[in-house]
Amino acid sequence: MTESLSPERMTAWRAYIEASQRLFTQLEDDLRADSELTFADYHVLVLLSEAPGQRLRMGELASRLVFSPSRLTYQISSMQKRGLVARQSCPEDRRGSEAVLTAAGLLALREAAPHHLRSVRTHLMDDLDDAEVACLTRVFERLGRRLRADRDASSTPADK
C-alpha cells in the first residue's frame, strides 16, 4: 500500500486519522459526562452565540458545521425540543428559517464551556508547544480554505 505516498507521509496520515478519531470520541464522552450536551449541540450553541443577533440561517449553520441539510434539520429540531434554540422564519427570505439562541441555550453553553475547554486543554492543547500550535493553525486553515473552495467549485459547475 505504498503506492504513492512516502512512508513518512503514510505514517503522518495514519497517526492523524487515528488520533483525531480518538480525540473526537473522547471529547464527546467528556461533554456528555458533565453536561446534557452533544458535541454537535455545543458547536451549534457556540456558533449561534457569536452570530449577530444570536441567530443564523439554517444553510449557513449547516455549512459551518459541515452537516448535511437534513442532518441539521434534525439537530435543530432536537435542540428546539430541549429549549436550547428557537426556530423563526426568515424575514428577508420567506423560504428559509433561522435558528435563534434562547436564554436557556446560552445558559447551557455557559455552564458547559469551562468543562469542555478544560477537556480540550487536557487532551490536546496542554501537550503542544507554541510552534506546534502555529503549525497546526497554518496547516488546517490552509486545508479548510482549500476544501471549501473545492466544494464551492464542484457545486457551481462554473462554465468556461
Partner DNA sequence: ACCGCTTCGTTCAAATTCCAAGGGCATCTG
Partner DNA sequence: CAGATGCCCTTGGAATTTGAACGAAGCGGT
Residues at the contact surface with DNA, assessed by CB under 7 A: 38, 40, 57-60, 62, 67-78, 87, 90, 93-98
Residue 150 binds which of a copy of itself, DNA, none (CB < 5-8 A, kind-dependent):
a copy of itself
129, three cell numbers: 508547544
- Cβ–Cβ < 8 Å for 60, 72: no
Quote the least distance from Cβ 139 to a copy of itself, whole Å: 5
Choice between 34 and 87, CB closer to a copy of itself = 34
Q: Which of 37, 43, 55, 51 is nearest to 99 (CA)?
A: 55
Residue 152 binds which of a copy of itself, DNA, none (CB < 5-8 A, kind-dependent):
none
Residue 88 binds which of DNA, a copy of itself, none (CB < 5-8 A, kind-dependent):
none
Phi, psi of 85 (to 5 degrees): -140, 165
Cell 457569536, located at residue:
50
Task: Indicate whether 25 belongs to the interface with a copy of itself (CB under 8 A).
Answer: yes
- Cβ–Cβ < 8 Å for 108, 37: yes
Helices (H) and strands (E) in the chain, counts: 6, 3
Task: Indicate whether 141 belongs to the interface with a copy of itself (CB under 8 A).
Answer: yes
Residue 107 binds which of a copy of itself, DNA, none (CB < 5-8 A, kind-dependent):
none
